[in-house]
Amino acid sequence: MIPAAFDYVRPGSIEEAAQAAGKPGAKVIAGGQSLLPLMKLRLARPTTLVDIGRIAGLVGTRYTEDGGAEIGAMTTYAQVMAETQLEWARDAVANIGDVQVRNLGTIGGSVAHADPAADTPAILLVLDYSAVLRSASGERVVPLDGFFTGPFTTTAQDDEILVAVRRPRLPDGVGGAYEKLAVPASGYAMVGVAVVIARSGSSIRHARVALTGVGEYPYRAKAVESALVDSDGSASAIAAAAAHATDGVTVNSDIHANAAYRSAMAVVHTRRAIEAALGRSA
């Protein structure tokens, strides 16, 4: 289909972009791999597209002296794969979309678009990333845990532009994994589970678990995390923790899977992701 008519602007700075984005009906476009398909189906009808693709300083991964990291919003999946120091994250990103999507789709675009079945938010959630938002009035840093509030909905204000995602230092010896049951036609997650784990002797001392494709938005499975911390990581402990994968969540039911099947697969893939992450932890 052909999108509805829209205006197009290409600001030269974040400040100009924030002013344009704050106007009624405006929508920021980065790589366009998520937004343009919705526009073609007329599920999204922005009156103005604000293209931030030429604004300097929004590309690349920067590592801080204290061990943290910041990824510019316009950094593509392919660039993340080339620059990340986390092998499991590289493998996870390699399974997002296809070659064209990975070459054009951006980390910031995926986070800001907040598709409830996108892979990126779950991966970033377990790494404790925050969204760096900028407007004409200044900068605001918001943890991604709580940033997603519904399908395609976040806590970002209309005049705020996502310029980067930022995380602190990871625990020593941390291991991670991402397990996904993909929709065959699109590659989106019917169920996607990201896990980061660190051990202390024979017990688990740090655990982050996040799911996508299951509920109305990507979420931290905190009941699973609580069950894992201080456990011995045995098969029985993992199974008991994974059973909490959908606690407190209204599970999606759609043409790809009903709620019962998606719930069952959430438990299965949570267990698999925990096992894989433990296998990579020191």
Q: Where are the domains of the chain?
A: 7-51, 175-280
Q: Is the pLDDT of residue 227 over 90?
A: yes
Q: How confident is the model at residue 2 (pLDDT cuts 50, 70, 90)?
A: confident
State residue 167's pLDDT score.
98
Q: Is the pLDDT of residue 159 over 90?
A: no
Percent of the chain with pLDDT over 70: 100
Task: Could you list the beta-strand ranges (E) of 144-268.
Answer: 148-150, 153-154, 161-167, 175-182, 189-200, 203-212, 219-220
- The fold of the 7-51 domain, in CATH, is 3.30.43
pTM of the complete model: 0.94
Distance CA 20, CA 62 (A): 28
Mean pLDDT computed over 213-236? 98
CATH number of 175-280: 3.30.390.50
Q: How confident is the model at residue 34 (pLDDT cuts 50, 70, 90)?
A: confident
pLDDT in tens, 40-72: 999 889 999 999 988 889 999 999 999 999 999
Q: Is 96 in contact with 111 (CB distance < 8 Å)?
A: no
Q: Is 83 in contact with 62 (CB distance < 8 Å)?
A: no
pLDDT in tens, 8-29: 999 998 889 888 888 899 989 9
State residue 11's pLDDT score.
92
State residue 33's pLDDT score.
85
110 DSSP 8-state letter: H
Residue with the larger pLDDT of the pair 15 and 257: 257
76 DSSP 8-state letter: B
225 DSSP 8-state letter: H
Mean pLDDT computed over 167-196? 96
CA-to-CA separations, 150 to 100, 191, 218, 279, in angstroms, rounded:
27, 17, 9, 33
